[in-house]
Amino acid sequence: MADMGGSISKILFTEEQIKNRIKEIGMQITEDYKGENLTVIGILKGAFIFAADLVRQIKLPVTVDFIAVSSYGSATQSSGEVKIIKDLDISVKDKNLLLVEDIVDTGLTLKYLLENLKSRGPAGIKTCVLLDKPQARKVEVPINYKGFTIDNVFVVGYGLDYDQKFRNLPYIACLKKEVVGKSRE
């Protein structure tokens, strides 16, 4: 696939690397929840591709729902203020939840969602993130399943965007600085 008009500076994880890692995570989740039902909650919009590929690798009865939050807008840095834009369609009371997120940098969004979902009375909540950016962390959050750890760089592709673009890239990459103007700090 083209690099979207010369916007990509470096590919961090190839389509094949992502596919292999998701298969491993799916096998681990299948083992950990053996004999149980699982409700997977994808965080929109960034995690939709990751969640779709992940649930196909989980060999258990799975219910899927999505929640949409906003903390970025069109910026490259989190505002720190999290707003629920689309809530869940199902009740999560007494259910095993797996919260699926594309990337954890500051941890503020994930912390907010974990607190919100815990207040709804689930049997338990675990988290699964494709990318972990620990250098950007402002609050600690539990990460039970992780795809990859990355440096404090701004990335796009495989669901992650910059100003609603680049989500369709099948790999994860860094944008050239002149495209972003300024990367997340």
User: Would you name the residues annotated as active-site residues?
Assistant: 105
Q: Is 51 exposed, middle or buried (0-12, 13-18, 19+ CB in 10 A)?
A: buried
Cα distances (angstroms) measured from residue 158 to each of 116, 125, 142: 26, 24, 23
Amino acid (one-letter) located at 83: K
**Token pair 């505002």: residue:** 79
Q: Are 72 and 17 in contact (CB under 8 A)?
A: no
Is the sign of the CA dihedral 28, 170, 111, 87 positive or negative?
negative
Kindly give, in sequence order, each residue whose CB lies less than 8 Å from that of residue 92, ignoring residues fewer than 6 positions away.
39, 41, 117, 120, 121, 122
Handedness of CA 112, 115, 119, 121 (dihedral sign): positive
129 and 107 Cβ atoms separated by less than 8 Å? no
